[in-house]
């Protein structure tokens, strides 16, 4: 039997989330936490992650952190969505997907449209199709908005161009050396865009054969994974894992710009300060990699691909605004991005309050 209950969130100093829902069906091994961080700008949008968390507390912490991140990402992408996230606790190789995703669909439906989900780590369009039998509030379905990776890559490319413009006064990447970490879905498309723009690429991947293949295709230089942080390049584009800007890697950087697709590139917030102290221009990850969520508007809002594309191109302008605001007030771009997002959320809350006055 499916059991759903909400945590008491009102007035708690521990978090600023609107709603935290726990859902479980012990018979099929379904255990989920759905965090709705904010609906100020619209229904909370954020994927469903499946992960074998060590504890329920770890799962809850992750859900809260990821939901909050989605609020900021959607706000800065200029989308009419708030932020939320679901996490399912379980082993991706062992769960009964049919039963688990049907249960999750019912849990999402119980939120009445205040939360819309899609695929994320360890979940797929096929899983979303299962959920569709229980709820309308699901995106990322088979054959709809399609693979977001090329669109994400385009947004990251625009982020690198904006960083170059801010840093060097020109957004031309011709002759600039870019160290690219991860030749996966996004990294490969990004490498192609960069090569077409005349950048000199140094690329790596833990899958050496894949990296060498991409290097061969684009005339790039292959670098060992452990050596990418020492690469003699002006731009570092992390497109693999989070946490790659940390105490161990930072002292090795010769880069002037860090701009990539990976989520949570800074291991801790203080690494944003450390980048600034070293004079590195950092394009906040959630601004640079918003192309994927923007791509979802085609499916969720019926936007044309051209309209979505224009929003992705605008990542360039948003970033320049962030860099200038950061420089004017002496804060990091990461902090300036958060403040810009918060201002947009507050403005939406204000508009809503005055509409109901």
SS3 call for 297: helix
**Cα(123)–Cα(97) distance, integer angstroms:** 10
Q: How far is the CB of 325 from ligand NAD (least distance, A)?
A: 23
Tell me if 347 contacts ligand NAD by CB under 6 A: no
Residues 6+ apart with CB under 8 A from 331: 339
Q: Tell me which stretch binds ligand NAD (CB under 6 A): 81-89, 157-165, 179-187, 299-307.
A: 179-187
Element (H, E) at 315: helix 315-329
Out of 292, 296, 298, 341, the only residue in the binding site for ligand NAD (CB under 6 A) is 292
Tell me if 181 contacts ligand NAD by CB under 6 A: yes
The interface with ligand NAD within residues 110-149 (CB under 6 A) comprises 148-149
Please provide the distance, in angstroms rounded to a whole number, between the alpha carbons at the two ends of the chain.
Answer: 42
SS3 call for 115: strand
Neighbours of 241 (CB within 10 A): 13
Q: How far is the CB of 1 from ligand NAD (least distance, A)?
A: 34
Tell me if 155 contacts ligand NAD by CB under 6 A: no
Q: Tell me which stretch binds ligand NAD (CB under 6 A): 17-25, 123-131, 236-244, 311-319.
A: 236-244
Q: How far is the CB of 32 from ligand NAD (least distance, A)?
A: 20
Out of 160, 179, 257, 261, the only residue in the binding site for ligand NAD (CB under 6 A) is 261
242 token code pair: 């989070």
SS3 call for 47: coil
Residue nearest to ligand NAD (CB): 184
Residue with tokens 């309308």: 136
Out of 87, 138, 178, 239, the only residue in the binding site for ligand NAD (CB under 6 A) is 239
Tell me if 225 contacts ligand NAD by CB under 6 A: yes
Tell me if 262 contacts ligand NAD by CB under 6 A: yes
Could you list the active site residues?
85
**Cα(45)–Cα(194) distance, integer angstroms:** 30
Phi, psi (rounded to 5 degrees) for 49: -105, 135
Question: What dihedral do alpha carbons 175, 176, 181, 186 form, nearest 10°?
Answer: -70
Q: Tell me which stretch binds ligand NAD (CB under 6 A): 12-20, 46-54, 106-114, 183-191.
A: 183-191
Whether residue 78 contacts residue 314, with contact meaning beta carbons closer than 8 Å, is answered with yes
Out of 196, 206, 327, 347, the only residue in the binding site for ligand NAD (CB under 6 A) is 206
**Cα(128)–Cα(111) distance, integer angstroms:** 17
Binding site for ligand NAD (CB under 6 A): 148-149, 152, 181-187, 204-207, 210, 225, 239-241, 261-263, 289, 292
């Amino acid at each position: 039997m499916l059991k759903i209950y909400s945590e008491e969130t009102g007035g708690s100093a521990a978090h600023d989330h609107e709603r935290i829902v726990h859902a479980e069906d012990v018979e099929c091994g379904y255990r989920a936490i759905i965090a709705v961080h904010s609906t100020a700008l619209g229904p909370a949008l954020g994927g469903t992650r499946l992960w074998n968390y060590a504890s329920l507390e770890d799962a809850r912490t992750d859900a809260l952190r990821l939901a909050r991140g989605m609020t900021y990402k959607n706000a800065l992408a200029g989308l009419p969505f708030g932020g939320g996230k679901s996490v399912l606790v379980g082993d991706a190789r062992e769960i009964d997907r049919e039963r688990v995703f049907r249960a999750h669909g019912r849990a999402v439906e119980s939120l009445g449209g205040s939360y819309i989900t899609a695929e994320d780590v360890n979940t797929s369009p096929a899983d979303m199709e299962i959920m569709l039998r229980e709820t309308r509030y699901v995106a990322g379905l088979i054959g709809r908005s399609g693979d977001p990776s090329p669109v994400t890559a385009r947004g990251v490319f625009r982020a690198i161009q904006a960083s170059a413009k801010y840093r060097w006064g020109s957004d031309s990447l011709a002759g600039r050396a870019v160290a690219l970490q991860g030749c996966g879905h996004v990294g490969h498309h990004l490498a192609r865009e960069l090569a077409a723009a005349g950048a000199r690429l140094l690329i790596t991947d833990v899958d050496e054969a894949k990296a060498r293949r991409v290097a061969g295709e684009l005339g790039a230089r292959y670098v060992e994974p452990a050596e990418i942080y020492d690469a003699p390049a002006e731009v570092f584009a992390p497109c693999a894992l989070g946490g790659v800007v940390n105490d161990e890697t930072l002292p090795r950087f010769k880069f002037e710009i860090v701009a990539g697709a990976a989520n949570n590139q800074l291991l801790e917030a203080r690494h944003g300060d450390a980048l600034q102290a070293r004079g590195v221009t950092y394009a906040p990850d959630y601004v640079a990699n918003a192309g994927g969520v923007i791509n979802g508007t085609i499916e969720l809002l019926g936007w044309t691909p051209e309209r979505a594309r224009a929003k992705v191109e605008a990542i360039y302008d948003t970033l320049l605004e962030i860099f200038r605001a950061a420089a004017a007030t002496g804060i990091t771009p990461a902090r300036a991005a958060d403040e810009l997002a918060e201002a947009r959320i507050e403005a939406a809350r204000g508009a809503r309050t005055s509409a109901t006055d």
